[in-house]
Amino acid sequence: MFRCAESGGGLLRLLSARPPSAVGWLAIAALAAMALGTSYPATAAVADSSSWRDAVLYFAIVDRFADGDPSNNLQVDIQAKGAFHGGDLKGLRDNLDEIAGLGATALWITPVVKQIPGFVTGAGFADWPYHGYWADDFTRLDRRFGSEADLKALVDACHARGIKVLLDVVYNHVGYGSQYLKNPRTKTWLRTDETGTCGSDDLTSCLLGLPDFKTERKDVDDYLMEAHLGLAKRVGLDGFRLDTVKHVAHEFWREHRKRSRAELGPDFFLVGEVWGGDASSLDPWFEQDEMDAGFDFSFQGSVLGFLLGRGRTVAFDRYLQSRDKVRRGHLLVPFLSSHDVTGALHQLDGDKARFRLAALLEFTSSGIPMIYYGEEVGRTGGEWPENRSDMPWGDRKIFPGAGKERDDSLRADYVRLASIRRSHAALTRGTYAGLIADKDLLVFARLDSLARDAVVVAVNRGGEAATATIALPVEWAGASGADDLWNRESLAASGDSLTLTLPALSARVVAAKRAER
Ligand SMILES: [Ca+2]
Ligand SMILES: [Ca+2]
């Protein structure tokens, strides 16, 4: 147990990097903060009308979520890890309660264009294009996922519930042996291993041996953009998740941004997958406004490292602070699990106490938190391809995951986290201010001076209880006390300070108690 006034060198270095400022703060609070050893920097929140800043994103592999139409189940084998499992667009639409009820406000689905008819065996088992990344024809949908009418019906149903839809699109490559290689007109569009035309750099190499589009050709770009943007327009999509961004040139993405705005409106949202992306490495794509947001690959490892005690708390505090460096007007998308990485719960050996803390850190951090289908009900997954296992539906007769165990108490915690995030602008739009980083205790605030909102988050990763005292943020002026929203406890402030006690492996998410709430 310790009080922050007694904390050590790590905190002092933290303070020296962030000189206290009275701007935006009650002088008395600033004095109290200095006396207590906590520091709140001036906030620089700006108005931003984009509701994507407040979004919670849910990502589903269409084939693995829910089978709403058994009549389109070709090559389905639920027992085979690399086969189609029968999930489709209708299954998603039929089970939107699951996603909307969680508090998600945006849905990302895997590609649904027609896939190659066969499979590959390079991984030692029959691996089919159930994931949607091996296109055979970008101009029509794969009947195993559904029709264009099914996609439009899903988009309409999502919109009726206030959920935006991002479709995953691939501009870099086609599937193995795709029909594009057989058509005399289109086979010259692609670099392949067979023709010895694959390059050796990011842009021209054949990723995993997949035929690579010559996106330096205008006719190729026009064809692909017409296909993807045309579909988006016809079905009313809200944006794209862009696959393999760093394997296509910046010139292409700039033209794509221009055309998506011209054809689909200024709000059409683009989230890019740049492998390994973080606030600084994504900047080349943000600098020229090629996309609105990018996946934050650094988040999972940093959070798990902190929770497993692999690094100093002060280093994790610095990491969270660094995420604010993202270029203004652009967003990071943090995640704990995805179809391309081993999920957090598996990496934690099923330790749900730490997993809850990881989810709490995700939902109290900046950006658009992404939930990978099923992790919210304890789907452990595993290493690829087990990280793409079926959505667990418990005793509900929804295939392919009927009968698979699910943890609805964990889901209830996600619902609470999404609700807390929704009700506090500081969590979605605020800046980060580290307050205490000492031993196993991290305390930080998210501050939005524009909305006059502040939320204090405390996480104790250690095996023993910890106590800390913080100065009350100026945004709490006039409050009648403080509420721990995570544990649903009322906390008593003492003068201008608040003492937080945290049991082992626990967290608090504290906001001002408002009489009107
Ligand atoms: Ca089906
Ligand atoms: Ca390429």
pLDDT digits (tens, 9 = 90+) for 114-142: 999 999 999 999 999 999 999 999 999 99
With left for phi above 0 and alpha for psi between -120 and 50, is residue 30 left, alpha or beta? alpha
Ligand 2 centroid to 216 CA: how many Å?
9
In whole angstroms, how far apart are CA 453 and each of 22, 49, 426?
A: 17, 17, 5
Q: What's the rounded Cα separation, in Å, for the pair 67 and 141?
A: 17
| pLDDT higher than 70, residue 221 | yes
pLDDT of 38: 58
CA 137 → CA 214, 253, 316, distances in Å?
16, 21, 45
Q: Give the pLDDT band of residue 40 (cuts 50, 70, 90).
A: low
pLDDT of residue 13: 26
Residue 146 to residue 143: CA distance in whole angstroms:
5
CB 150 within 8 A of CB 89: yes
Report residue 27's pLDDT band, with 50, 70 and 90 as the boundaries: very low
381-421 pLDDT per residue, tens: 899 999 999 999 999 999 999 999 999 999 999 999 999 99
What average pLDDT does range 4-24 have in this prediction? 29
Q: Is the pLDDT of residue 153 over 90?
A: yes
Q: Which of 254, 252, 294, 292 is CA-nearest to residue 277?
A: 294
Is the pLDDT at 85 greater than 90? The verdict is: yes
Nearest to 228 by CA among 307, 138, 132: 138
Instruction: Calculate the average pLDDT of the chain.
Output: 91
Query: Residue 210 has what pLDDT?
Result: 98
Number of the ligand closest to the Cα of 67: 1
Q: Encode pLDDT of 435-467 as tens digits.
A: 999 999 999 999 999 999 999 999 999 999 999
The SS3 assignment for 115 reads strand
Is pLDDT at 7 greater than 50 in this prediction?
no
Please state, as a whole number, how many other Cβ atoms lie within 10 Å of the Cβ of residue 180. 22
Could you count the other beta carbons within 10 Å of the beta carbon of residue 122?
Answer: 9
Percentage of the chain beyond pLDDT 90 is: 88
- Phi/psi of residue 164, nearest 5 degrees: -85, 155
> Separation of 200 CA from ligand 2 center, angstroms?
10
Give the least confident one: 3-12, 29-38, 74-83, 279-288: 3-12
| Ligand nearest to the Cα of 172, by number | 2
Q: Which residues have CB under 8 Å from 227's CB, separation 6+?
A: 113, 138, 139
CA of 95 to the centre of ligand 1 (A): 14
Q: Are 180 and 187 in contact, with CB atoms under 8 Å apart?
A: yes
Q: Judge whether residue 230 has pLDDT over 90.
A: yes
CA of 144 to the centre of ligand 2 (A): 27
Residues 6+ apart with CB under 8 A from 230: none
CA distance 16 to 313: 17
Find out whether 380 and 343 touch, Cβ atoms under 8 Å: yes
Strands 269-272 and 482-484: unpaired
- Residue 343, pLDDT > 50, answer yes
Q: Report the pLDDT value the prediction gives residue 488, as an integer from 0 to 100.
A: 97
Gap from CA of 173 to ligand 2 centroid (Å): 7
Question: Which of 165, 158, 161 is CA-nearest to residue 237?
Answer: 165
Is residue 423 helix, strand or coil? coil
Pair 401, 413: CB distance under 8 Å: no
Cα-to-chain-centroid distance, residue 81: 25
Distance 247 CA to ligand 2 centre (A): 4
Strand 466-471 with 269-272, pairing? unpaired
For 234, list phi and psi in degrees, rounded to 5: -65, -35
Q: Which helix (H) or strand (E) holds 284?
A: helix 283-287
C-alpha closest to that of 165 among 235, 65, 95: 235
Q: Which residues pair with 113 in a beta bridge?
A: 141
CA of 260 to the centre of ligand 2 (A): 20
The ligand with the least distance to the CA atom of 73 is 1
pLDDT band at 34 (very low <50, low <70, confident <90, very high): very low
45 — pLDDT class (breaks 50, 70, 90) = very low
Q: What is the pLDDT of residue 123?
A: 93
- CB count, 10 Å around CB of 29? 21
**Ligand 2: distance of its center to the CA of 63 in Å?**
26
**What confidence category does residue 480 fall into, taking pLDDT thresholds of 50, 70 and 90?**
confident
- Residue 2's pLDDT band, with cuts at 50, 70 and 90, is very low
* Residue 268 CA, ligand 2 centroid: distance in Å: 24
Q: Find the 516 Cα to ligand 1 centroid distance in Å.
A: 49
Lowest-pLDDT range of 10-14, 77-81, 499-503:
10-14
Ligand nearest to the CA of 189: 2
Ligand 2 centroid to 207 CA: how many Å? Answer: 8
Q: Is the peptide bond before 385 cis (omega within 30 degrees of 0)?
A: yes
| Cα–Cα distance list, 406 to 63, 161, 333, 424 (Å) | 19, 24, 25, 29
Task: Give residue 145 CA to ligand 1 midpoint distance, Å.
Answer: 7
Average pLDDT over residues 456-483: 96
Of 128, 342, 333, 364, nearest to 241 (Cα)?
A: 333
Q: How confident is the model at residue 514 (pLDDT cuts 50, 70, 90)?
A: confident
pTM score: 0.91
Q: What is the Cα–Cα distance from 225 to 299, expressed in whole angstroms? A: 31
